[in-house]
Amino acid sequence: MRILLFATGALNTCFLPVWINWMTANRAGDSIDIVLSEHATEFVAVRSVAALTGEPAAIDRWDDPVLLGRSPSPHTWLAGHDAILICPATLNTLSRIAAIDASTPMLNAVQCTAAPVFLAPNLPPGADRNPAVHALLDELRTRATVVEPVSRPSVSVPDNALVTPPIWDVFAVVDAESAARAA
């Protein structure tokens, strides 16, 4: 399976090197391309992603040389994967997807792909109490598979937050959905 992993600007993006090592060990039959949002680069080094994958890391910009090296129309190359996984998906990214924002190559690809899209929300503390956030997630469930976030202690406030589950749990959802589609 050709999987596109889009990491956005959440603290959990700092675990991307661990996820890459896990995917390398456990998903050897898959081809996994990684794209970072510009904000994701505040939480993980582009060089570490490139070193661990053996491929240059792409940044979600229309002028990104890595994306342009893949295709003069990067959004069509991105949309051509077998599955798109947005992990972690920030509240900002989720809102942009729901609003049909296509202002970056990744957002455009998500709006135009025929492939299944998997969203792994990483919400800020308190977002789980906001009815508008619940409505947003319900809307997104009509267009994509939303991987249910898990409650974990927040590092910013003395409260829990709903965050992206471990990558192996996310891939369990991807595999279950893929098997259901194939049946």
| pLDDT for position 9 | 97
For residues 40 and 9, the answer to whether their CB atoms sit within 8 Å is yes
Looking at residue 155, its pLDDT comes to 79
Burial of 151 (0-12, 13-18, 19+ CB in 10 A): exposed
**DSSP string for the chain:** -EEEEEE-SSGGGGGHHHHHHHHHHH-TTSEEEEEE-TGGGGTS-HHHHHHHHSSPPEESSTT-HHHHHH-SSHHHHHHTSSEEEEEEEEHHHHHHHHTT---SHHHHHHHH-SS-EEEEEEPPTTGGG-HHHHHHHHHHHTTSEEPPPEEEE-SSSSSEEEEPPPHHHHHHHHHHHHHHHH-
Please give the residue range of the domain that contains residue 31. 2-182
**pLDDT of 183:** 85
Number of domains in the chain: 1
Averaged confidence pLDDT in the chain: 95
pTM reported for the whole predicted model:
0.95
pLDDT, position 153: 83
Query: What are the pLDDT digits (tens) for 7-56?
Result: 999 999 999 999 999 999 999 999 999 999 999 999 999 999 999 999 99
Which residue, among 114, 110, 88, 90, has the nearest Cα to 101 in the 3D structure? 110
Q: Which of 135, 140, 137 is nearest to 100 (CA)?
A: 140
As a whole number of angstroms, the distance between CA 113 and CA 80 comes to: 7
Provide the pLDDT for residue 103. Answer: 97
The CA distance from 100 to 112, in Å, is: 10
In the chain (183 residues long), the average pLDDT of successive 10-residue segments reads: 96 96 95 96 97 95 95 91 97 98 97 97 94 98 96 82 94 94 86
Partners of 153 in beta bridges:
160
Q: How many CB atoms lie within 10 A of CB 11?
A: 17
Residue 76: CATH number of its domain: 3.40.50.1950
